[in-house]
Amino acid sequence: MTRKGKTYEEIYGEERAESERKKRSDALKGRKHSKERIEKNRITTLKRFQNPEEREKQSKRIKLAYLVSKKFGFQKGHKFGVGKKNALGYKRTAEQKRNNSRASLLMWQNPEYAKKVLCVDSPNKEEKRLMVILNDILPNTYTFVGNGKLKVGSKYPDFVDSSNVRLIELYGDYYHKGQNPQDRIDYFEQFGYNTLVIWASELKDTTTLKNKIMAFN
């Protein structure tokens, strides 16, 4: 049986998955890639870009980035925070930050761009784990649409139920840090959806999470 692309839950089952995940994590702590592994990764990357389709995709991404930077006046090495330095030592002003935000909004308004971004590694490991849990307690009820299949207003939810009235959003603890889930709930409510927001850390306690999902439904 091939394990490639499968979650721990799919391989070991829910009860054993967490312990296996921890064993794997502990085993890898402090390890560094060998020179052989680094060279192998480099060769794999070079081979991937020998594919004409892959080169075309990269070319389109570069052209899009250039057009956006030209429109909003971005400079090489723009920052990840006002006044903060990046690896090249540049600083980003408040105006540059606003330009970044406007450019990002403009790009996300393009359905093709949104789908391309959302389809990268989608569904991810956390989304796959949640899919297993949903199918266990509510078979054939929720469908994963986090790859751009469903657009509500200007946003793309992660899961929608079969009656198309309930949404489930999976929040990453890092990427959504500091965000208020109620904002997303209120936003989707404008379009007639009830929304449940689940944090990725909640996937560790499947019993409590299952009760939360059932209460929502």
Q: How many domains is the chain partitioned into structurally?
A: 2
Q: Domain check: are 136 and 197 in the same one?
A: yes
Examine the fold and report which residue of 85, 109, 133 is the final residue of a domain before the chain moves on.
109
Task: Mark whether 89 and 138 lie in a shared domain.
Answer: no
pTM for the full predicted model: 0.51
Residues 67 and 136 in one domain: no
Both 99 and 133 in a single domain? no
How confident is residue 159, by pLDDT bands cut at 50, 70 and 90? very high
- The answer to whether position 99 is within a domain reads yes
Domain for residue 51, yes or no? yes
| Domain identity same for 143 and 89 | no
Of 64, 82, 109, the residue at which a domain comes to its end is 109
3-state secondary structure of 216: helix
Per residue in 5-48, pLDDT (tens digit) is 677 777 888 778 888 888 888 877 777 778 888 888 888 877 77
Can you give the residue range of the structural domain that contains 76? 35-109
State the pLDDT confidence band at 81, using cuts at 50, 70 and 90: very low
Dist. CA 195–CA 181, nearest whole Å: 10
- Do the domain assignments include residue 5? no
Model confidence over 160-189: pLDDT tens digits? 998 889 999 999 888 788 889 999 999 999
Let me know whether 86 and 149 are in one domain: no
12 inside domain? no
Whether 41 and 78 share a structural domain: yes
> Which amino acid appears at position 10 of this protein?
E
Do residues 97 and 54 share a domain?
yes
Domain boundary among 109, 143, 169: 109
Q: Please, what is the average pLDDT of the chain? A: 78
Closest C-alpha among 159, 153, 154 to residue 192: 153
Judgement on whether residues 105 and 129 belong to the same structural domain of the protein: no
Q: Are residues 211 and 147 in the same domain?
A: yes
Instruction: Say if residues 166 and 216 touch (Cβ distance below 8 Å).
Output: yes
Decide if pLDDT at 83 tops 70: no
Q: What pLDDT is recorded for position 80?
A: 43
Q: Which CATH number does the domain housing residue 170 bear? A: 3.40.960.10
Whether residue 120 has pLDDT greater than 60: no
Residues 63 and 139 in one domain: no
Residue 6 lies in a domain: no
* Strands of the 159-161 sheet, one edge to the other: 142-144, 159-161, 166-171, 194-199
Rounded to whole angstroms, the Cα distance separating 143 from 166 reads 11
- Assess whether 90 and 129 both reside in one domain: no
